[in-house]
Structure 1
Amino acid sequence: MTTSERTPRPVRAEAGDLVEVRLTVNGTPATLRLPARVTLSDALRDHLGLTGTHVGCEHGVCGMCTVLVDGQAARACLLFAVQLDGADIVTVEGLGRPDRLHPLQEAFGRNHALQCGFCTPGFLLSAYDLLATTPEVPTEELPQELSGVLCRCTGYRNIIAAVREAREESADGLPAPANCGSRALVGRAAGQAGHDAQQAAAGPEKPVAVDVVPPRGEPTVTVCVSTEVAVGSGQVWDVFDDIHLLARCLPGAELTEDLGGGLYAGRAKMAVGPVKLAFTGAARILEHDRASGRLRVLAQGRDTGGAQTQADIELRTEAVGQGTVLRADAKVYLTGRIAQFGRALAGDISRRMFEQFAASVGEAATSGRAPEGPVKPPGAIRLMLGTLLERLRPARRSRGAR
C-alpha cells in the first residue's frame, strides 16, 4: 500500500484523538486506531493480545520490552505506535512455534536460562539481533553485548551459555523467526485487528456495533450495595422506564445511540488520580420488570488505551415506608491497566459510583428531569477519604465495645 492510499495523518493530535496505524506484526497485517500517546508495548499487549512483550521499567533501561522493528532490536516502551506506521514488528511470539522452537529458545531451555521468565523475551530478541548482525561475536564479549537486558534472577551465566551454544550451532547463519504468519497473532489479536479495521472504515462517528454477551470466568470484583432514596418506588421506576434519563444518572456516562432490541451504545469517562479512562461500548437490557422491581443489564466497554470492562448488573427496588431501597448486585470484569487498581480499589470505586447513581436517580425521580450537568465520577481525593473513613468505622466500633 502506498503512502497516498493511507488515511492522512493530522498535523497535531490531542491526547485522546485516535490515529490510524498500520503495522505488520509477526507477518500479519494489523490496523489499529490509537491515541498518539500509546506506546508500541501497550499496543502489542493491550490491543493485539501479544503479552509476551513484557513491560518492566518503562524507561528503556531493563530491556524487557525488546522487539524487532524492521529487523532491528528496539525498546517497545520508548516508541509510540503512531511513529511506526508501515513498520514490520516481530515479537517473541513470532520467534518459534510450540512444535518448532527457534534454536535460541531450545538453547535457553537446555541451559536452564529461563529462571522466572520475565526477562526471557527481551533476552531472546536481543540475542537474535546480536547473532543475526554479528554472528562472529567473541564469547568474551557476550556479557557486554547482552548487558542491555537486566535479569532479576541472576541467571546471566546460563543465559550467556545458551547464547553461545546457539551461536555455535548456527554456524551457517541463525534461522529467521519461524512463526511469522496469521497464527502468530494470539489472544484477542485477530478479532481486535479486524474490529479496528472495521472502525477505521466506518469512521470515528460510526462505531461498529457489537453484541453484548455474558462475561465468563470469575469476576474481578463483586459489588453488593443498597441505599435508600426518599422517593416512592413508582417514581424510581419512572426513571428506569426512560433509558435516556437513566443513563444521565450514571456517573461519567453518556448514551450515544439506540441500536434497537434493548441494545444501546454509549461512552463513559472516569479518572483516578493521574489515570484517565474513556470507554466506548454497549449495554443490553436483559430484564426490565416494573412489577417485580427488577432490572438486569449487561454492559461492556473498551478504553482507547486497551483497558476493557464488562459488568453484569442487577438492580432491584423495594418500597420502604415513603421511600425506596435501591439494591445493586454487580459482577465486574476488568482487563488492561484498569485491572491494576486491584480488587479493593475497584470495589471502592464501584460502590462510590453506585452511591452517586442512586442519589442522581432520587433527584431525577423527584424533579422528573435529569441532573443538571453530567454526573461526575468520584475524584481520587474523595474516594480516598471515603474509603479511609469506612475502614476506620469498624475500628472505632470495636474500641467502643471494650
Structure 2
Amino acid sequence: MTVGEAGSREAGPRTPRPVKAGADDPVEVRMTVNGTPTVLSLPARVTLADALRDHLGLTGTHVGCEHGVCGMCTVLVDGEAARACLLFAVQLDGTDIVTVEGLGRPDSLHPLQESFGRHHALQCGFCTPGFLMSSYDLLVNKPEVTEEELPEELSGVICRCTGYRNILTAVDETRRTHPEGIPEPGNCVRTALVGRAGQGADASDGPDEAGDTVSSNVQDIVLPSGDPTIAVRITTEIDLPEDRVWGVLDDIYLLARCLPGAELTDDYGDGHYAGRARVSVGPIKLAFNGVAQILEHDRETGRLRAIAQGQDTGGAQTQADITLTTEATETGTAMHADAKVYLTGRIAQFGRALAGDVSRRMFEQFADAVTEAATSGQAPSGPVKAPSALSLVFAPLLDRVKRLLRGAGTRRRSGREKER
C-alpha cells in the first residue's frame, strides 16, 4: 500500500482535511499505533519519528542521522519497514504503525528480543530498536535468507559499537528456530478504551465497532497481590460542611475533573468507567488510556473507594487503589486520600522517591480542586494539570522554607513569653 492510498482510507467521522496546510498549521492524523487507535493534531512539518517520540512518548524509536541512512528510526508502516525520520506524520493518515515497543512485552519478549539478549547483541543499545524492526521485517518477507546473506540484508542499519557479529548471530538463531515463520509482534493489543493516545478527537473506528469492542472488554479490575510501588496518604482540611464536599464526590464526572490531567470518557454502567490521563515529568510524557471501577460509594459512612488501571502506547502500566474518606470537624471537613499505586514499564523507572513526589503533589492538587468545586458548585475553572518537573523540584524546598519560618515564629513567641 502506498502512502497516498493509506491517506485515503476512512476511519470513522473526522474533521475535513485542508487542501493545503502551512508548515505550522495543525492537521488531524489518525493512525493505529501498536494496536491502539490514535488521533494526533500536528503541524504538517512534524515527522513520524517526532510524533512517536514527542507526542506519544514512544522513545524506543531512536533518531540518528535524520537522513534515512543510519536506520535507527526504523518502524513498520502497514507491515513494511520504513524510516520514521523521512515520513511526515500527516502522510500516514489511516495507516497501521508498529514500533519496537509493540514487538514484545517486558513479561513476554518477542523471540528476536530474547535472542538479542542471549547473544549480548545490544551493547550500547542505540542501534538495537532499528535492528530489531529491520530484522523482523527481513524474516517476515524473506524467511529463506541465509546466514551468508545477513550482513548485506541488514546493512541498512549501522551499528556504532562492537556488537555487530552478535547481532547477526541473534538474527540467524531466530531464523533457524522459526523456519515456519517468525511470530507476530506480541504487544499490539487494542486497549479497553478506544480513544486518543495523544491529542485530538476520539479515535474510534466508528460508533458501532468501537462500542462493541469496548463493552465486550470491560471486566473487573484485578490488582497485584504484592506490595505497591508507592503508597500515599494525604489529609486536607476543607472549610465547608461535609455535605458540600459530598456534593462533589457524588458526581463522578465532576470528581474526575478534579484529578490532575484526567477525564472520564465513557460510562459502561455498573460502576465501570473509561478514561484517560496524562503525566509529564520533564521530557517524559505519558498518555494513559484505561478503565476505573467504583467499589464503594457511601455518603453515610463518608467513604468512597475506586480502583483503576491504565496503559500508554509505550507499554507503561499503572494500577491504583484509591480510598477517599471524610469526617466532620469543628471548622468544616477533613478529607483523607489513601492511594496504593502499582507501576510497570517506563514510569516505574522514575524511582520510588520521584514517583511518590509526583503522586503526592497530584493528590494535593486534587484536594485543592475538590475544595474549589465544592465551594463554587461547578468544575474547576481550568483544567487541573499534573505537576511539572519544576514544581517537583521546588516544592520540597518551599515546604522546608515554610517549616523554618514557622519554627522561627515559634521561637520568637517563646522568647517574648520568657521576657514577660
TM (normalized to structure 2)?
0.61
Query: What is the correspondence of 1:55-70 to structure 2 with a 5 Å cutoff?
Result: 55-57=61-63, 63=71, 66=74
Write the distance in 2 (CA, Å) between the matches of 1:157 and 1:383: 44
CA contact (8 A) 2:78 2:96 kept: yes
Amino acid in the other structure paired with 1:185: P
Pairing 1:199–2:177 present:
no
Pairing 1:148–2:158 present:
yes
CA contact (8 A) 2:303 2:325 kept: yes
Write the distance in 2 (CA, Å) between the matches of 1:235 and 1:194: 32
Query: What is the correspondence of 1:145-224 to structure 2 with a 5 Å cutoff?
Result: 145=155, 148-151=158-161, 154-156=162-164, 162=169, 178-180=181-183, 184-187=184-187, 189-192=188-191, 199-202=204-207, 208-209=214-215, 210-211=218-219, 213-216=221-224, 219-224=228-233
Structure 1 residue 235, shift from structure 2 partner: 3.5
Query: What is the correspondence of 1:322-333 to structure 2 with a 5 Å cutoff?
Result: 322-333=331-342
- Matched residue SS, 1:114: coil
> Deviation per CA, 1:143-202, whole angstroms, max 9, x where unpaired?
x94771233xx3346557x49x969x99xxxx988225xxx2314x24449968993132
Write the distance in 2 (CA, Å) between the matches of 1:31 and 1:371: 30
Write the distance in 1 (CA, Å) between the matches of 2:363 and 2:117: 50
> Deviation per CA, 1:248-307, whole angstroms, max 9, x where unpaired?
433344445544322334455555456565555443211112333221012344557776
Structure 1 counterpart of 2:396, from 373, 387, 394:
387
- Matched residue SS, 2:293: strand
CA contact (8 A) 1:63 1:148 kept: yes
CA contact (8 A) 2:36 2:189 kept: no
Change (3 A) 1:243 1:262: same
Write the distance in 2 (CA, Å) between the matches of 1:234 and 1:32: 41
> Deviation per CA, 1:57-88, whole angstroms, max 9, x where unpaired?
56658755545668975445665676455679
Query: What is the correspondence of 1:293-312 to structure 2 with a 5 Å cutoff?
Result: 293-301=302-310, 308-312=317-321
Query: What is the correspondence of 1:61-80 to structure 2 with a 5 Å cutoff?
Result: 63=71, 66=74, 74-76=82-84, 79=87
Question: Cα RMSD over matched residues?
Answer: 5.7
CA contact (8 A) 1:62 1:150 kept: no
Write the distance in 2 (CA, Å) between the matches of 1:218 and 1:338: 17
Amino acid in the other structure paired with 1:329: D
CA contact (8 A) 1:249 1:357 kept: yes
Write the distance in 1 (CA, Å) between the matches of 2:243 and 2:79: 66
Change (3 A) 1:352 1:128: closer
> Deviation per CA, 1:197-231, whole angstroms, max 9, x where unpaired?
99313289979343451333654432222222223
> Deviation per CA, 1:314-339, whole angstroms, max 9, x where unpaired?
11223333333221111224456655
**Corresponding residue for 2:385?**
377
Pairing 1:239–2:239 present:
no
Amino acid in the other structure paired with 2:382: P
- Matched residue SS, 1:322: coil
Identity of aligned residues (%): 46
Write the distance in 1 (CA, Å) between the matches of 2:98 and 2:379: 49
CA contact (8 A) 1:56 1:64 kept: yes
Change (3 A) 1:122 1:376: closer
CA contact (8 A) 2:17 2:27 kept: no
- Matched residue SS, 1:373: coil
**Corresponding residue for 1:19?**
30
- Matched residue SS, 1:360: helix
Query: What is the correspondence of 1:20-35 to structure 2 with a 5 Å cutoff?
Result: 20-21=31-32, 32-35=37-40
Structure 1 residue 93, shift from structure 2 partner: 5.6
> Deviation per CA, 1:113-132, whole angstroms, max 9, x where unpaired?
53659455644665788997
Amino acid in the other structure paired with 1:150: R
> Deviation per CA, 1:340-366, whole angstroms, max 9, x where unpaired?
54443332222222222222333444x
Write the distance in 2 (CA, Å) between the matches of 1:288 and 1:300: 19
**Corresponding residue for 2:324?**
315
- Matched residue SS, 2:206: helix
Amino acid in the other structure paired with 2:381: G
Structure 1 residue 109, shift from structure 2 partner: 9.2
Write the distance in 2 (CA, Å) between the matches of 1:7 and 1:71: 18
- Matched residue SS, 2:370: helix
Change (3 A) 1:58 1:221: farther
Write the distance in 1 (CA, Å) between the matches of 2:29 and 2:80: 27
- Mind listing any 5+ residue stretches in structure 2 that lack a counterpart? 196-201, 408-420
CA contact (8 A) 1:39 1:76 kept: yes
CA contact (8 A) 1:226 1:328 kept: yes
- Matched residue SS, 1:352: helix
Write the distance in 2 (CA, Å) between the matches of 1:356 and 1:201: 36
**Corresponding residue for 1:285?**
294
Change (3 A) 1:339 1:17: farther
